[in-house]
Structure formats: C-alpha cells, structure tokens
C-alpha cells in the first residue's frame, strides 16, 4: 500500500466519491478545484498513507485535519458517506494494483480490505459498517453503484479535475495520460453517467498506456516507488517539529 503507483488511482477515486450527490455538493462548494485541482488528491493521499502506514499519532493528526475540513460541509459526517469515500479508495487501489501488477487473488484482496478499514473508522465510522470480506465488499459496492447520481455539480468538479486551467505547466502536460487512466479505471456505469466517451478505441488506448506504465513502474526500485508515501508522511509530521 506504500507503492507510489497507487497515485494513479486518485482521480478515479475522486470521481467515484463525487458521484454521490451529497459528496459532490460539499466538494463543489468548499474545494477550489478550478485553481488547485491537485489539492484534494494530495490531501486524500496524505490521509491514506497516514492511516494505513503511519503510527497512531500520524493517524490522529490526519483524521483531525479531515474533520476540521469537513466541519462546514453538510453530510460529511454521515456514516454512509464516510463508508462510501473509504470504499472508493479501496476499490481504486485494487484496480491500480490489478492493472499494474496483475490480477489480485482473494487472499490479497482480503488483507488489503482489512488494511483499509481504518480509513473509515478513524473518522468514527463504526467498525461493523466496514465489509468483513471481499464478497461482502462486492455486494455493498454493487448496491452503492446502483444508487449513484452524477449531478451537474459533480460534472463541474470533474471538468476542473481533468482539465485544470490554472495548474502548473507540468501538471497540464501529463493530464492527457491522467485522463485516459482515470476514465479507464472507472466502472462502466459511472463512466456512462459522467458522459465520458468509451468504446473499443478508448479501451485499446487505456490498455496500451497501462502496459507502458506497468513496464516503467516495475522497472523502478521499490524504495523509489515508496518515495511519495514517505514525502507525504514527512509533510504531515512537519508541524510537529
């Protein structure tokens, strides 16, 4: 879970999160995606690394940061939304792992499911709400997908995320690749709800890009791939010193 390749799933996780209208409304009203589209991704990754990889102090500090950010957001502390947001992070992580490193067996999926449970419980989601097995997660996931509604607020945030007008030049330069990967990682129903074009040509482009990324990622030494998690944990801990 410390692998930097998981960053590739961040965009898909965000688009899944805002496919819930309550989440979309909160993000649209309280996040500055137009000018800082990478901010939510950085904060999300920092929270994931702190809770999943950090110690108790890291987890508590990250949770407190999220709770402060959520104070003005209507519905942010609702258990169903907390469960949904944590579930999207788990789903995106498995999708990236499967795409880059090959299919995920049930045992690995079960271990990852347990590791991701604190993403919800750190924000006071009752432990009983988190699925206890991959099969239970899949049942929850299919039910949750069927209840999503992509609103105009969600589409507005998605445009700011995928077509950042004010982002640094290096971010804009890599966005064509990011868009292909982000849309390709989404479930079919969510892609359709957003109105993203997706057919045989787009699927081939996604598969070619994933193969190239997989070759590059697997050629990079593990310690280097873990640098993003180390950097973000240091950034989280910096105010403590």
**Residue-range definition of the domain harbouring residue 81:** 4-240
Rounded to 5 degrees, what angle do the CA atoms 209, 89, 203 make? 25
Mean pLDDT on 98-108: 89
Q: Per mean pLDDT, which range of 45-49, 86-90, 115-119, 158-162 is the poorest?
A: 45-49
Reading the block at residue 157, the tokens are 């945030």
Q: 45, exposed or middle or buried, with CB in 10 Å at 0-12, 13-18, 19+?
A: buried
Domain count, the chain: 1
Closest CA to 133 of 114, 153, 158: 114
pLDDT in tens, 15-52: 999 999 999 988 878 676 666 666 777 888 888 888 88
Reply yes or no on whether the pLDDT at 1 is more than 60. no
Q: Which 3 state secondary structure label does DSSP give 51?
A: helix
pLDDT in tens, 118-131: 988 888 899 999 99
Q: Identify the band that residue 241 occupies on the pLDDT scale cut at 50, 70 and 90.
A: very low
- Give the position of tokens 């590791």: 115
So what's the pLDDT on residue 68? 80
Reply yes or no on whether the pLDDT at 72 is more than 70. no
CB burial readout 166-186, b (16+ within 10 A) else e: ebeeeeeeebeebebbbbbbb
Cα dist from 156 to 9, 93, 182, 216, whole Å: 20, 25, 16, 33
Inter-residue contact 33 to 160 (CB < 8 Å): yes
Rounded to 5 degrees, what angle do the CA atoms 188, 217, 197 make? 25
Rounded to 5 degrees, what angle do the CA atoms 236, 238, 239 make? 95
Q: How far apart are the first and last CA of the chain?
A: 26
């Amino acid at each position: 879970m410390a692998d930097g390749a998981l960053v590739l799933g961040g965009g898909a996780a965000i688009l899944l999160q805002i496919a819930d209208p309550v989440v979309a409304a909160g993000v649209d009203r309280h996040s500055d995606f137009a000018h800082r589209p990478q901010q939510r991704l950085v904060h999300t990754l920092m929270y994931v690394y702190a809770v999943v990889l950090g110690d108790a102090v890291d987890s508590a500090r990250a949770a407190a940061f999220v709770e402060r950010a959520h104070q003005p957001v209507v519905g942010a502390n609702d258990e169903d939304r907390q469960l949904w947001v944590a579930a999207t992070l788990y789903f995106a992580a498995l999708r990236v792992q499967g795409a880059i490193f090959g299919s995920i067996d049930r045992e690995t999926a079960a271990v990852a499911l347990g590791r991701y449970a604190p993403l919800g419980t750190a924000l006071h989601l009752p432990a009983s709400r988190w699925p206890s097995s991959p099969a239970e997660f899949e049942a929850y996931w299919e039910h949750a997908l069927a209840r999503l509604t992509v609103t105009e607020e969600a589409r507005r945030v998605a445009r700011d995320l995928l077509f950042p007008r004010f982002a640094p030049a290096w971010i804009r330069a890599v966005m064509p690749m990011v868009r292909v990967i982000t849309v390709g990682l989404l479930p079919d129903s969510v892609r359709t709800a957003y109105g993203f074009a997706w057919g045989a040509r787009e699927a081939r482009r996604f598969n070619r890009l994933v193969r190239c990324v997989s070759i590059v990622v697997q050629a990079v030494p593990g310690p280097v791939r873990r640098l993003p998690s180390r950097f973000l944990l240091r950034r989280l801990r910096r105010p403590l010193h």
